[in-house]
């Protein structure tokens, strides 16, 4: 077999454009491309993008959503247990977090992207999706070691 040797000196380092992600994400552990997708979702309530993430060696697949949609949706889920005062209190707290963190004053250009939010998220463990129907999921961007666009589907 013949292999071509690539002279890396002919390639220039490619720098990420000076965007909010470039300026505010201070860790080399965070994939700037994924962080930019999260910025897009955070700045556009209601937008969702199918992604499959590798997190600590496990696969997590779901729809990337904004932090605002995540907190508001979790609040709705908690409020379904209206007979439980703890659930209702947590629901109100989630609504407040949604507004404080991602409300009308939210600006992706000044927001430090550190977390990713998914809906209909499922882990793929031993050939089985857990949970089968999906759930809301929040994780640290710095824990994601790889990703692909699109949802993982079992054949």
At 119-133, the pLDDT tens digits run 999 999 888 898 988
- Binning pLDDT at 50, 70 and 90, where does residue 102 land? low
Residue 148 has pLDDT above 50, yes or no: yes
**Lowest pLDDT segment from 16-20, 48-52, 89-93, 96-100:** 16-20
For the entire predicted model, the pTM comes to: 0.72
- Residue 21 tokens read as 């992600």
For residue 62, is pLDDT > 50?
A: yes
pLDDT surpassing 80 at residue 50: yes
Mean of pLDDT values over 100-121: 76
Which candidate, 117, 120, 124, places its Cα nearest to that of 97?
117
Q: Which one is predicted more confidently, 91 or 133?
A: 133
Q: Return contacts of 46-53, CB within 8 angstroms, 24+ apart.
A: 48/119, 49/149, 50/149, 50/150, 50/151, 51/118, 51/147, 51/148, 51/149, 51/150, 51/151, 52/147, 52/148, 52/150, 52/151, 52/152, 53/116, 53/139, 53/144, 53/146, 53/147
Predicted pLDDT at 25: 42
């Amino acid at each position: 077999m013949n292999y071509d040797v690539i002279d890396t000196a002919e390639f220039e380092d490619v720098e990420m454009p000076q965007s909010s992600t470039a300026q505010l994400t201070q860790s080399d552990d965070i994939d700037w491309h994924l962080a930019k997708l999260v910025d897009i979702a955070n700045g556009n309530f209601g937008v969702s993008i199918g992604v499959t993430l590798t997190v600590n060696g496990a696969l997590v697949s779901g729809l990337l959503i904004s932090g605002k949609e995540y907190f508001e949706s979790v609040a709705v889920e908690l409020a379904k247990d209206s007979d439980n005062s703890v659930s209702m209190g947590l629901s109100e707290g989630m609504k407040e977090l949604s507004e404080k963190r991602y409300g009308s004053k939210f600006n992706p250009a000044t927001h430090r992207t550190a977390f990713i939010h998914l809906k209909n998220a499922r882990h793929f463990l031993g050939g089985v999706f857990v949970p089968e129907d999906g759930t809301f999921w929040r994780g640290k961007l710095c824990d994601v070691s790889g990703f692909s666009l699109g949802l993982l589907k079992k054949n």
